[in-house]
Amino acid sequence: MPSDPPELPTRRIERGRGATFDPANRFRRDTREASDDGWTRDDEPAPPRATTVTIQPARTIVARNDSPDIPFDRSINPYQGCEHGCVYCYARPSHAYLDLSPGLDFETRLFAKPNAAALLREELARPGYACAPMALGTNTDPYQPIEREWRITRSVLEVLAECEHPFTIVTKSALVERDLDIIAPMAAKGMARVCLSVTTLDKSLARTLEPRAAAPHRRLQAIATLAAAGVPTGVMVAPVIPQLNDRDLEAILEAAGQAGARFAGWIMLRLPREVAPLFRDWLEVHRPLRAAHVMSLMRQLHGGRDYDATFGTRQRGRGAFAELIAKRFDLACRRLGLDEDLPALDSSRFRPPHRTSAQLELF
């Protein structure tokens, strides 16, 4: 029998935020506890946290991986932290490396990399660079709300388009439509593909599960807009949460297919490190009658634990429930024509950016 989870800190439930508290930074040796100083009335709500953005002067921008269960080997994340506030986000633990909490800090204290395009240009200009599709949206969403002002994702796309470098995008935001002037011409040359992540069609569930992401119907509209522009567009049903949104699987696929999606994928809920207590508390607050059942099924998927990070099983789980979801997904995709085998993105046209050199300018 799994042991009871540790007692959680005092909750601070805020409208428009996903996390219900700030779990401690796992790298800190000290602990902090809030106490009443006598100046605040019991019935006086705490002021809501504002979103802050700090410039992060990155030294490199292309992240490499050799994970056997991930279909790309390079990616770009223009931002660290994500204002969408999805309580289940597996990227939350990365905020601990910044001496911040993976809870509310992750969705309110954001970091932007305005030199991303310049760093990308340097990377692509290296003599030994070998072209392969670049993935955007693998950790935090490249089209989260602050992209409207910072436009870092767009600057990255401009460099990729200039060099005719293939790319893929995964997002929960309809803001991706803004960059159709770049994405559509690249897609026409077989160099771009976009996937919209749709977790549920239930608006009330989406408001608490992923509070600042685009509404479900708006994501479906974005699929239709992209597809109409000739962009190969898919839907990612992620994450699938047992006894919470798994009943929506076929409905999401059908709605996306009607909107113009050509391919689909799914990922089971992942609860690494601090995400597990955050999600357990979210269940107790927003779905208390289902909390025990959901976590029981999650442990069945991962050999009695909240999460198993083993390659090959971390994204799907094991056992009867995982097999059932996989079968339902495959049957629905075949029925709806979402099992199309798309050709690989074209890497043959890649042109390295021009390397400026003070020495060459002498001639």
Position 284 in a domain: yes
Residue 187 in domain: yes
pLDDT at 28: 76
Tokens of 32: 């902090």
What are the backbone dihedrals phi and psi of residue 298, each rounded to the nearest 5 degrees, phi first?
Answer: -60, -40
* Helix, strand, or coil (residue 159): helix
Tell me, what's the pLDDT at 54?
97
In the prediction, which pLDDT does 49 show? 87
Beta pairing, strands 62-64 & 74-76 = antiparallel
How far apart CA 2 and CA 132 sit, in angstroms, is 44
Nearest residue to 162 (alpha-carbon basis) of 362, 302, 351:
351
**pLDDT computed for residue 307 by the predictor:** 96
Helix (H) or strand (E) holding 278: helix 275-286
140 belongs to a structural domain: yes
How far apart, in whole angstroms, are the C-alpha atoms of residue 111 and residue 107?
Answer: 10
Q: Where are the alpha helices (DSSP H) in the chain?
A: 104-108, 116-125, 147-150, 152-162, 180-188, 203-209, 216-228, 249-259, 275-286, 291-301, 320-336
pLDDT at 124: 97
- Work out whether the CA dihedral 33, 34, 37, 42 comes out positive or negative: negative
Number of domains in the chain: 1
CB 5: neighbour CB atoms within 10 A?
13
Residues of the chain with pLDDT under 70: 1-12, 30-46, 355-363
Residue 255 counted as domain residue: yes
CATH for 110: 3.80.30.30
pLDDT, residue 20, reads 93
- What is the separation, in whole angstroms, between the first and last Cα of the chain? 75
Q: What is the reported pTM?
A: 0.91
CA–CA dist 253, 265 (Å, integer) = 9
* Phi, psi torsion values for 192, nearest 5 degrees: -145, 145
Phi/psi of residue 70, nearest 5 degrees: -120, 130
Res 6: pLDDT:
47
Residue-range definition of the domain harbouring residue 337: 53-341
90 falls within a domain: yes
In the numeric block, the tokens 């991706």 are attached to 176
Q: Could you give the 3-state DSSP secondary structure of residue 163?
A: coil
pLDDT tens per residue across span 130-183: 999 999 999 999 999 999 999 999 999 999 999 999 999 999 999 999 999 999
Write down the pLDDT at residue 340.
84
Question: Residue 13: exposed, middle, or buried by beta-carbon count in 10 A (0-12, 13-18, 19+)?
Answer: middle
Q: Does some domain include residue 287? A: yes
Burial class of residue 354, CB neighbours in 10 A (0-12, 13-18, 19+): exposed
On whether the CB atoms of residues 65 and 73 are closer than 8 A, the answer is yes
Supply the pLDDT for residue 1.
47
